[in-house]
Amino acid sequence: MAEEHEGREQPEEQEVTASEETGEQSVQQYPHPGLETRALSRFPEAAVQPVARTVPEDPDAEVEGELFQYWSKTPGGHKWLHYFELYEEILHSLGSRPARMLEIGVFRGGSVRMWSHCLPPGSTVVGIDLDETCKQFEDAASNLHVRIGSQADPDFLKSVAEEFGPFDFILDDGSHRTDHMIDSFTHLFPEALVPGGQYLVEDTHTNYWLAYRDSAYSFVDFSKDLIDMMHAIYLDRPDERLFREEHASRLDEVRVPEIAAMLKEIRFRDSLVLFQKHRHYHLPVSRLLEE
Ligand SMILES: C[S@@+](CC[C@H](N)C(=O)[O-])C[C@H]1O[C@@H](n2cnc3c(N)ncnc32)[C@H](O)[C@@H]1O
């Protein structure tokens, strides 16, 4: 099932091997050595001592919200409970107008049903999955649709976007394979998400589990690179006056990759990365107030 990765550069510090039985690739060296050399070495000694992370009873760990209320009554559902806080934020940010949502990965239908129930009336929820049996969770009367295909197939994604998109919210809870996460994002975020839309990738902890790691370049690596991409505008323009309101040097136009202009926000949480797309693309403006 793993994709071919011809032409992709592999970082030197990670050794990628192919399993003889499956032909699938896995990264043998983990954790990433950069964790120790680049991040931990910058902290004072006390901050890097091991601690027991488990908190026996945490009153803040209570899960709240209408998505959880509905989901917890759904038979066969399976989710990490800390996801619901962000889900709830996303639900409320979508407001009261009908929304269009795409979920990659239907499984037993629990999540698509939950979103379909909780999104404002008139909303459309589309689930995609490789597994044909997921078609049974379609409920056209409730605007809940299921299409069968792979999240790694750009033609399939395009056809789903043409049929139901563009979407206000896309949730990737599919194969959790690193290259699939990247491929789906690169096809759906630019083309199938509305301006101002949100794209959530969940279970990114699987990037740290060898069984899911079908490429040395993980989705988390890719997301970190997109933080740099979000700052592309500043790369060859190291002078704040180029962006200052009413300054003679102020630039009217800057050429950057379109994806750089689209990225408004990238939020990382444990196992979750949420991207927001800009509503309008414009240059950042600085203002110098008179003394
Ligand atoms: C974690 S489950 C989805 C769970 C569901 N979102 C929920 O919370 O109830 C992952 C699903 O992704 C599907 N899947 C695996 N590989 C896929 C691919 N390449 N394209 C689309 N779906 C895939 C599996 O068949 C499975 O149903």
Helices 154-164 and 178-192 cross at an angle (nearest 10°) of 40
Query: Which residue's CA is the nearest one to ligand 1's atom 18?
Result: 150
Taking alpha carbons only, the member of 110, 100, 65, 128 closest to residue 196 is 100
pLDDT tens digits, residue range 43-90? 888 887 877 766 666 655 678 899 999 999 988 788 999 999 999 999
Question: Is 176 among the catalytic positions?
Answer: yes
Mean pLDDT of 203-231: 93
pLDDT tens digits, residue range 152-178? 999 999 999 999 999 999 999 999 999
* Nearest-angstrom CA–CA distance, 167 and 150: 18
Taking alpha carbons only, the member of 94, 91, 132, 92 closest to residue 111 is 91
Residue 202 CB–ligand 1 contact under 6 Å: no
Residue 114 CB–ligand 1 contact under 6 Å: no
Residue 1 scores a pLDDT above 80? no
Tally of CA atoms within 13 A in the half-sphere of 17 that contains its CB:
7
What does pLDDT average to over the chain?
A: 87
Residue 13 CB–ligand 1 contact under 6 Å: no
pLDDT tens digits, residue range 273-287? 999 999 999 899 999
Residue 148 CB–ligand 1 contact under 6 Å: no
Residue 214 CB–ligand 1 contact under 6 Å: no
204 CA distance to ligand 1 centroid (A)?
Answer: 14
**Who wins on pLDDT, 6 or 288?**
288
Query: Hey, is 69 helix, strand or coil?
Result: helix
108 CA distance to ligand 1 centroid (A)?
Answer: 9
Residue 6 scores a pLDDT above 50? no
Residues 32, 145, 176, 187: which is the catalytic one?
Answer: 176
- Beta strands at 167-172 and 100-104: parallel, antiparallel or unpaired: parallel
Assigned CATH for 16-38+64-218+264-277: 3.40.50.150
Index of the ligand 1 atom closest to the CA of residue 129 = 22
